[in-house]
Structure 1
Amino acid sequence: MESFLGEFLGTMILIILGAGINAGVKLKGTFANNNGDWLLISFGWGMAVTMGVYVAGHLGSNAHLNPAVTISFALFGMFPWNQVLPYLIGQFFGAFVGAGLVIVQFYPHFKVSKNEADGNSVGIFATGPAIKNTLFNFLSEVIATFTFIFVLLSLGDFAAGLKPLVVGFVILAIGMSLGTTTGYAINPARDWGPRLAYTILPVPHRGATNWAYAWIPMVGPIVGGILAAGLFKIV
């Protein structure tokens, strides 16, 4: 049975990410279709997660960087509940401050980018759907986060040694495949902290902040994480 489950779930992950890349590149309306920048974006986010994990791990954290990880691990006894709130506060506040520093870094460029056509949009900081469909946008975040956290759990201590680099490559793989539908938040803090920064900080020519969509990158990743942690505990 262990051999069957290993082969079944391993092959499932293989096809989710492999066929997902094909779909993201070939189908109309995805972020990757005819978008030569998508590989750069996916690779950049992968390396961003890697560096964040290294910093957090060095400072004594478990390097979750993601409420979906923290909450799902705690629900299934893999993380102490008394540390959940400090982790969540750190994640959301860190995401907000990080976005604020990006605004400072690129402030002159925001000033000359006068509308969304110039690139000045909440999409710099937060996610949104390539094709708006509430149910399937939600399911996209659930499936992408499930895949991410199930692989993360399979790595063991993912903050040790070279494993943060592996985590970055997992993010890259998800970005190039499942991330092409909703921009793959897979992390409520990564979406809400920067979205709030773009909303309340003095960004020149600020565009719409699309808070009506924001519940999806909040709830979807948490549901996906819980499903992944639950399945991991069962198998």
Structure 2
Amino acid sequence: MKTKMARNLPTQIVNELGSKIVHGEIQPGTILTSDMLEAKYLVSRTVIREALRVLHDKGLTKARTKTGTIVLERTEWNLLDLDVLNWLQASGLSSELITDLEELRSTYEPGVVRIAAKRRGTKDITHLKVALKKMTDAFYEQGSTSPLIGEADMEFHEALQTATQNDLVKKMGRLLLPLLKIRGDLVGHAVAEADFLVQHQAILDAVIDEDPDAAEAAMKVLLETAARASSTVRKRKL
């Protein structure tokens, strides 16, 4: 069945094809040709080329000379791309990605907080305090399921990245933030109890005291608690 896309926008084609690839409706190894897509969407070759270029950039497809565009396996996808993450979440396939995220955070964030404790400035402390206050207020005023807790949590971890004064760390942090949001959407804020706030306070206290060892230890406790809670919630949803 041919589908006419409003205003022939490449973005609409990308969203439809990308979603179908991630959902498994278009299987790895499938060949997409310009002729086939032009006929399906009733658009020009220029529009199709632009859409395919975006899919290539997201790691979902790869051009093959004289053949067309081949759909790639999940191992090739750019799993830090916001669109790919959203498609995964919508498909219900983001659970495995959350496990990978927990493992990545356990090796990455303790190192980040060590650097932050050594280099943080006055403004960094202020940003961390503001984020923690937002978490605390949301918890006591709206309850542990408040979405504001997740937003403030992301602000807290982003402030830690900034406190390192390291541009590469900050860049990596911006890549991880969308994953943190999806984790919150998927499992909820299962650790949003009193301990959750106490653990963040321990991190903040260590950063204020410029104590990298204490900061690292506090971060490990937080991440271990979060990983256990995340695992419990996901098992309940199976």
Normalising by structure 1, what TM-score?
0.32
Higher relative contact order (CA 8 A, sep 6+): 1
Which structure shows the higher helix fraction? Answer: 2
Normalising by structure 2, what TM-score?
0.31
